[in-house]
Amino acid sequence: MSWVAGVEGSGYGVHHLPYGVFRVGSGEPRIGVRVGDLVLDMAGAEEAGLVLAGGALRQPTLNAFLALGRPQWTASRQRITELLTDEAHRAAVEPLLVPLAEVRMELPFEVADYVDFYSSEHHASNVGSIFRPGQPPLLPNWKHLPIGYHGRAGTVVVSGTPVVRPHGQRPGPQGPVYGPSVRLDIEAEVGFVVGVSSPLGRRVAAADFADHVFGVVLVNDWSARDIQAWEYQPLGPFLGKSFATSVAAWITPLDALRHAFVPAPEQDPPVVDYLREEPHLGLDLRLTVYWNGEAVSEPPFAGMYWTPAQQLAHLTVNGASLRTGDLYASGTVSGPHRDQVGSFLELTWGGTEPVVVGGAKRTFLADGDTVTVTATAPGPDGSTIELGEVTGTVTPAN
């Protein structure tokens, strides 16, 4: 039990403790940990000697702290829990709690490389059916490896950043047409933040997942379907994605998700050795996608075919190094039902089956639309953890 009022049952209790970077007014960015509707100023806590992290908590981003590794992550977590639960620390800690309403959140870490996977069987099948009707929805490689590609790290933005409708080329009856995208979409995903690097030439085993990955952020990988459809052959998505990828302001530590690991779906055919994971575990995160405040879908992350540990093993099997701040996302999270999909492409079946939002028939995103993705996870003792939301509003093309 925390001595901080209103924290228990809030989704941001002492079993959660996600990390972010905040500013107050025109102040410098500072590392904070969210508890209820308050931010514990970790820079202040380290300055006061309440937490020791060799100065890593007094940085403008989380990268230095992420680089420290699991023993330090766990030690800091235990210490913060002490500070927030033991009345003896109240007098010292209370002045370091800042109301969430008074802060502006920044991108929590400097993104090194950004990789996007494609690991929901339902999503990949839906997209295959929509784009390649009459053909097998999954390509032959899909069940043998977690398909992925690199995205643009420099356009990863923090939740709340406006998303400017991108210009680009799209297919037209007389050749390509240039202009603002007319099929702007979302992709509700779960991202994994790498803390501990690995050297070039070394493979990281799936079993070493928790040594390298610090935690989880919700991701919206905004996608211009018309630009993507015209450009993506043969080298994959490029400008259809690179204009913006939003991430939550709060990174939920893996330590907070101990109760959320669940058996992942069985894999058939069996995977090759480096992708074998024992036990084979997914995460029971339950996402909700809100379109202008209206819940339109509830994608279940537990059903993902490829797990985050398998994705990490695959990402490095060729000897690719990891850097602190690497971000890899799951790919769009879609369940088997229409009200469980993570993109509007699927929700409206390629725009052919509009849905009613705010009383109007809708397919893709209009200027002014706001999309918010939230998620919950089981915590200890029947409690629920609420992941930091990722939200964004579409603004007109420049």
* Residue 169 binds a copy of itself, judged by CB under 8 A: yes
Instruction: Pick the closest to residue 263 from 277, 240, 280 (CA basis).
Output: 280
Q: Whole-angstrom Cα distance, residue 235 to residue 106?
A: 32
Instruction: Pick the closest to residue 168 from 220, 245, 241 (CA basis).
Output: 241
Taking residues 302 to 321 in sequence order and writing x for each that binds a copy of itself by CB under 8 A, - otherwise, the string is ------------xx-xxxxx
**With CB under 8 A as the contact rule, which of the stretches 42-50, 69-77, 198-206, 253-261 interacts with a copy of itself?**
198-206
Q: Whole-angstrom Cα distance, residue 38 to residue 29?
A: 16
* Residue 149 binds a copy of itself, judged by CB under 8 A: yes
Select 96 or 312, whichever has its Cβ closest to a copy of itself.
312
Instruction: Pick the closest to residue 8 from 70, 79, 68, 85 (CA basis).
Output: 85
Q: Whole-angstrom Cα distance, residue 183 to residue 70?
A: 42
Taking residues 75 to 114 in sequence order and writing x for each that binds a copy of itself by CB under 8 A, - otherwise, the string is -------------------------------------xx-
Q: Whole-angstrom Cα distance, residue 70 to residue 56?
A: 14
**With CB under 8 A as the contact rule, which of the stretches 57-65, 84-92, 239-247, 385-393 interacts with a copy of itself?**
239-247
Could you tell me the smallest distance in angstroms from the CB atom of residue 174 to a copy of itself?
A: 11
* Residue 276 binds a copy of itself, judged by CB under 8 A: no
Report the 10 Å Cβ neighbour count for 367. 13
Select 299 or 325, whichever has its Cβ closest to a copy of itself.
325
Q: Whole-angstrom Cα distance, residue 274 to residue 264?
A: 17
Number of residues counted as binding a copy of itself (CB under 8 A): 61
- Is 123 labeled as catalytic in the residue annotation? yes
Select 324 or 374, whichever has its Cβ closest to a copy of itself.
324
Q: How far is CA 122 from the centre of its chain?
A: 19
Could you tell me the smallest distance in angstroms from the CB atom of residue 60 to a copy of itself?
A: 16
123, 212, 259, 280: the active-site residue: 123
Reduce the secondary structure of 226-285 to three states and give it as a string: HHHHHHCCCCCCCCCCCCCEEECCCEEEHHHHHHHEEECCCCCCCCCHHHCCCCCEEECC
Binding residues for a copy of itself, rule: CB under 8 A, are 112-113, 115, 118, 139, 141, 144-145, 147-155, 157, 164, 166-169, 175-176, 178, 200-203, 224, 227, 230-240, 242-244, 269, 272-274, 314-315, 317-323, 326, 398
- Which amino acids are annotated catalytic? 123
